[in-house]
């Protein structure tokens, strides 16, 4: 968990991560507000806010009296949002740190290529 963010956002990002990695496929039910609250030891109002954030973003949808489900198209939506944020969230800090260490961009690109090859991706 990233302590530099409010808890309800941490929860929303945690669920997004689970959806992206396939733990919660589209159409399946996610745990309830109370289950998340008990698991994370947080106030249920906070957990509800995290879940509602995903409902507002169209990632989850509510079925009254039943629970919350991963919406159809959630995966594509999440991927495109995360792609947009990828540069700021991952590339900028990477480039900044490389600069601090004196790694130029050619070397950086070569390092990325090597890592990806080793990881088989």
Partner 1 sequence: MSLAIETTDLTKVYRHTAALDHVSLGIEKNTICGLLGRNGAGKTTLMSILAGQELKTSGQARVLGADPFENAAVLAQLSFARENQKYPEEFKVSHVLRTAPWFYAGWDAGFARRLIGEFRLPLKTPIKKLSRGQLSAVAIVVGLASRAPVTFFDEPYLGLDATARGIFYDLLLQDYMEHPRTILMSTHLIDEAANLLEHVVVLQDGRKILDSSVEEATASAFTLSGTATAVAEATGPRKVLRTQALGGLRSVTIAGIPDERLYADARAGGLEVGPVSLQELVAAHGLLEGGEPAAVAHPAEKDQTEAKEALR
Binding site for partner 1 (CB under 8 A): 4-7, 34, 37-38, 40-46, 49, 96
Q: Smallest distance, Å, CB 7 to partner 1?
A: 6
- Give whichever of 88 and 106 is closer to partner 1, judged by the CB atom: 88
Of 20 and 40, which CB lies nearer to partner 1 in the complex structure? 40
Name the minimum Å distance from CB 79 to partner 1. 26
Which is nearer to partner 1, 43 or 89 (by Cβ)? 43
Q: Which is nearer to partner 1, 96 or 107 (CB)?
A: 96
DSSP structure string for the chain: --TTS-HHHHHHHHHHHHHHHTSS-TTPEEPPHHHHHHHHT--HHHHHHHHHHHHHTTSEEEETTTEEEEPTTHHHHHHHHHHHHHIIIIIHHHHHHHHHTT--HHHHHHHHHHHHHHHT-
Nearest approach in angstroms of CB 39 to partner 1 is 10
Least Å distance between CB 68 and partner 1? 16
Characterize the bridge pairing of strands 67-70 and 60-63.
antiparallel
Structure tokens at 25: 């496929």
């Amino acid at each position: 968990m990233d302590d530099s963010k409010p808890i309800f956002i941490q929860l929303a990002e945690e669920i997004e991560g689970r959806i992206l990695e396939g733990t919660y496929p589209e159409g399946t039910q996610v745990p309830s507000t109370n289950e998340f609250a008990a698991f994370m030891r947080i106030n249920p109002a906070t957990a509800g806010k995290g879940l509602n954030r995903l409902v507002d973003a169209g990632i989850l949808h509510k079925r009254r009296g039943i629970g919350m489900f991963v919406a159809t198209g959630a995966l594509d939506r999440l991927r495109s949002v995360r792609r947009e944020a990828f540069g700021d969230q991952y590339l900028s800090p990477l480039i900044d740190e490389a600069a601090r260490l004196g790694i130029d961009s050619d070397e950086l690109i070569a390092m990325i290529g090597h890592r990806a090859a080793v990881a088989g991706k």
